Chains A and B, each alone.
Chain A
Amino acid sequence: MGLNEFGLFELIEMVKRGDVSPFDVANDFVAAADRWEPRIGAYIEFYAEDLLAQTRRLTEAGGYESTRFAGLPIAVKDNITVRGRHTTCGSRILAGWSSPYDATVIARLRRDGAVIAGKTNLDEFGMGSSTENSAFGPTRNPWDPTGGSIRQPAAFCGVVGMKPTYGRVSRYGLVAFASSLDQIGPIARNVRDCALVTASISGWDCADATSARVDVPDFEAAVERSPERGFMVGVPWDLLSAGMDPVVADNFKTVIGALESNGVGVVDVALLHSRYAVACYYTIANAEASSNLARFDGVKYGHRARTYDDLEAMITRTRDEGFGDEVKRRILLGTYVLSAGYYDAFYLKAQKVRSLVTADFERAFERCDAVLLPTSPTPAFRFGERTEEPLEMYLSDVFTIPANLAGLPAITLPSGLTPDGMPLGVQLIGRPFAETTVLAGAAALERMIDFKGRPGD
């Protein structure tokens, strides 16, 4: 087993015991990237040379054993800025642009001893669910090379993904898409690794006005604990009745069975308005995106058109050349719902529906500690399956979006495989700032499910 196949926490323990050095680990990761990248294409830019040079230096210097990440590599999505390196957001409009500053999460990861391994692919400005909208080509799912946020990709790839509470992690240095919805979080092999990274990046940042000045509890300790006696899980059957692939439904029933046989109470909760969550989200998110993406005008950074007669043409041509189709569609929709005559009927209405979605969760949390539901209504779909009709892609978000609208912490973990061998995921959603409850519940569920699948099995 290569070093790259161990989880983060396990590797940190090995490094701290002196069994391996950070340089040994980095070497293995570079070798793994050489092997897998031609087929998978997970990275827009993999910092192979930097990774080796930096970890060799810190291995020689020593002292890494006392840091949280012990000199190990962490990759970041390419909408998070790293000073002096490219940030593309998966778009031509920023191709070749280097950032003059580090995102807060980068500074925190480095403070805690991590080395940045590179920038990973994304749909352009995060708009999509499969990387089919990346200007740099799609990333292939290692479980099935014909097919390709945080929770959905994690579920489709059989790993763990966590979205913290809105305001828990600083957005300074995250290129904005939808400012009231964006959150940074980890994708990792297991719940404990997610807890480790979330612990590092969480905490108030005065550079982000939406960052919450609240205490950060001990997330790592949370995964060691069993959930409190009387831990109750709520299942929103009304939302699930909107439609689930039978394979997903079967797996979900198995998960519920496992919880019940381990003494966890399972109750029915009503998330009445979550059936409108996709419509609500795509109104609000696109409105905010149309505003946030107005800054890409060819003036200060990124692409600029070559031929134009005046400033207006320079801007309009730059944006047509630089943005892909999905981005343009969303800017158009966002502009429409914010425009005079339509603002009340669409944007304002959506914000009211949003508060109803949040209120549903508040009521649900009177009866349970966490809401449990599948992460996706279907297993991973193939390239091209959802690109004909934009709406179909949006509908795949029906189970993940409600937690975003309500700003709640949510985690996905692998819950099994389909008969075809593709991974499925299940998610837990918690109260605001209750990541410890969500992590404890997820760690317990992870132990119960004991998922052992690997790609290529």
Chain B
Amino acid sequence: MSIDKRMIDHLETLARIEFTPSEKRLFTLQLERIVGYIKQLHQVDTETAAPAGPAHPREAEAAALDAEATPLRPDDPGTCLDRDAVLDEAPESKDHLFRVPRIIER
């Protein structure tokens, strides 16, 4: 599980960031060190960690509390953002739309 150039290339694609060659070199090294550090989590015995399912009493209690304590709001329409204010701040806009390079080939 080491961080090599192939992994960084893969992550670069997933993260949608285009690195410079020197950034790639620096981040490969640094990421290797950070991942090496967080690997210590594997030392922790998580067999007894609160399971994801609702069977555990604390989970069920927490879920019940959650449902009451963080209720969904009614699905009522209301005022949204001011469209012109939003588009004024866009890098490029036209006819009440955000403008971007062509997406679909002709």
Measured CB to CB, the residues of A under 8 A from B are: 97-98, 100-101, 167, 206-207, 209-214, 273, 276, 279-280, 282-283, 290, 294, 297-304, 308-317, 319-320, 323, 325, 328-329, 331-333, 335-337, 339, 342, 345-346, 349-350, 352-353, 355-356, 359, 389-391
B residues 40-81 touching A (CB-CB < 8 Å) = 40-44, 46, 48-50, 68-73, 81
Contact across chains for A339 and B11 when beta carbons are under 8 A apart: yes
Contact across chains for A283 and B41 when beta carbons are under 8 A apart: yes
Q: How far is the CA of A356 from the CA of B37 in the complex (A)?
A: 19
Closest A-chain residue to B45, C-beta based? Answer: A356
Q: How far is the CA of A308 from the CA of B92 in the complex (A)?
A: 14
Contact across chains for A353 and B30 when beta carbons are under 8 A apart: no
Q: How far is the CA of A355 from the CA of B50 in the complex (A)?
A: 6
Task: Decide yes or no: A316 and B18 within 8 Å by CB, A206-B73, A304-B91 being known contacts.
Answer: yes
Interface residues on B, range: 35 or more
Measured CB to CB, the residues of B under 8 A from A are: 1, 3, 7-8, 10-12, 14-20, 23, 26-27, 30-31, 33-35, 37-38, 40-44, 46, 48-50, 68-73, 81-82, 85-86, 89-92, 98, 100-103
Contact across chains for A335 and B34 when beta carbons are under 8 A apart: no
A314 touches which of B12, B69, B101 (Cβ 8 Å): B101
Q: How far is the CA of A335 from the CA of B15 in the complex (A)?
A: 7
Contact across chains for A317 and B18 when beta carbons are under 8 A apart: yes
A167 touches which of B70, B73, B103 (Cβ 8 Å): B70
The residues of A that contact B85 with a CB separation of less than 8 Å are: 100
Contact across chains for A359 and B70 when beta carbons are under 8 A apart: no
In the assembled complex, the CB of B83 is this many whole angstroms from the nearest CB of chain A, namely 9
A339 touches which of B14, B31, B40, B90 (Cβ 8 Å): B14
Closest A-chain residue to B73, C-beta based? Answer: A206
In the assembled complex, the CB of A334 is this many whole angstroms from the nearest CB of chain B, namely 8
B38, B82, B90, B100 pick with most chain A CB within 10 angstroms:
B38
Contact across chains for B46 and A332 when beta carbons are under 8 A apart: no
Q: How far is the CA of A310 from the CA of B16 in the complex (A)?
A: 13
The residues of B that contact A333 with a CB separation of less than 8 Å are: 31, 34-35
Contact across chains for B15 and A290 when beta carbons are under 8 A apart: yes
The residues of A that contact B10 with a CB separation of less than 8 Å are: 339
Closest A-chain residue to B18, C-beta based? Answer: A316
The residues of B that contact A352 with a CB separation of less than 8 Å are: 44, 46, 49-50
Closest B-chain residue to A338, C-beta based? Answer: B14
The residues of B that contact A356 with a CB separation of less than 8 Å are: 44, 46, 48-49
Q: How far is the CA of A330 from the CA of B73 in the complex (A)?
A: 33
Contact across chains for A353 and B41 when beta carbons are under 8 A apart: yes
Besides the known contacts A167-B70, A273-B44, 9 further A-B residue pairs in the complex with CB atoms under 8 A apart: A97-B89, A167-B69, A276-B43, A298-B91, A311-B101, A314-B100, A316-B16, A328-B17, A331-B17
The residues of B that contact A294 with a CB separation of less than 8 Å are: 16
The residues of A that contact B71 with a CB separation of less than 8 Å are: 213
Q: How far is the CA of A282 from the CA of B73 in the complex (A)?
A: 32
Task: Decide yes or no: A210 and B70 within 8 Å by CB, A279-B38, A310-B102, A355-B50 being known contacts.
Answer: yes
Contact across chains for A214 and B69 when beta carbons are under 8 A apart: yes
Contact across chains for B27 and A101 when beta carbons are under 8 A apart: no
Q: How far is the CA of A167 from the CA of B65 in the complex (A)?
A: 13
* Closest 9 A/B residue pairs (Cβ): A316-B18, A304-B91, A352-B46, A352-B49, A206-B73, A100-B85, A319-B17, A279-B38, A355-B50
In the assembled complex, the CB of A238 is this many whole angstroms from the nearest CB of chain B, namely 15
Q: How far is the CA of A304 from the CA of B92 in the complex (A)?
A: 9
The residues of B that contact A298 with a CB separation of less than 8 Å are: 91
In the assembled complex, the CB of A100 is this many whole angstroms from the nearest CB of chain B, namely 4
A-B contact pairs, 12 of them (CB 8 A): A97-B89, A213-B69, A276-B41, A325-B26, A328-B17, A332-B11, A335-B15, A350-B41, A353-B44, A355-B49, A356-B44, A359-B50
Q: How far is the CA of A298 from the CA of B3 in the complex (A)?
A: 29
Q: How far is the CA of A81 from the CA of B9 in the complex (A)?
A: 35
Q: How far is the CA of A308 from the CA of B91 in the complex (A)?
A: 14
The residues of B that contact A276 with a CB separation of less than 8 Å are: 40-41, 43-44
Contact across chains for A323 and B102 when beta carbons are under 8 A apart: no
Closest A-chain residue to B10, C-beta based? Answer: A339
Q: How far is the CA of A106 from the CA of B26 in the complex (A)?
A: 40
The residues of B that contact A311 with a CB separation of less than 8 Å are: 100-103
A211, A300, A313, A314 pick with most chain B CB within 10 angstroms:
A300
Contact across chains for A320 and B20 when beta carbons are under 8 A apart: yes
Contact across chains for B89 and A98 when beta carbons are under 8 A apart: yes
Q: How far is the CA of A335 from the CA of B14 in the complex (A)?
A: 7
Contact across chains for A329 and B41 when beta carbons are under 8 A apart: no
Q: How far is the CA of A304 from the CA of B100 in the complex (A)?
A: 10
In the assembled complex, the CB of B27 is this many whole angstroms from the nearest CB of chain A, namely 6
Task: Decide yes or no: A390 and B34 within 8 Å by CB, A100-B85, A320-B20 being known contacts.
Answer: yes
The residues of B that contact A211 with a CB separation of less than 8 Å are: 70
B49, B72, B85 pick with most chain A CB within 10 angstroms:
B49
Closest A-chain residue to B103, C-beta based? Answer: A311
Contact across chains for A279 and B41 when beta carbons are under 8 A apart: yes
A346 touches which of B18, B38, B68 (Cβ 8 Å): B38
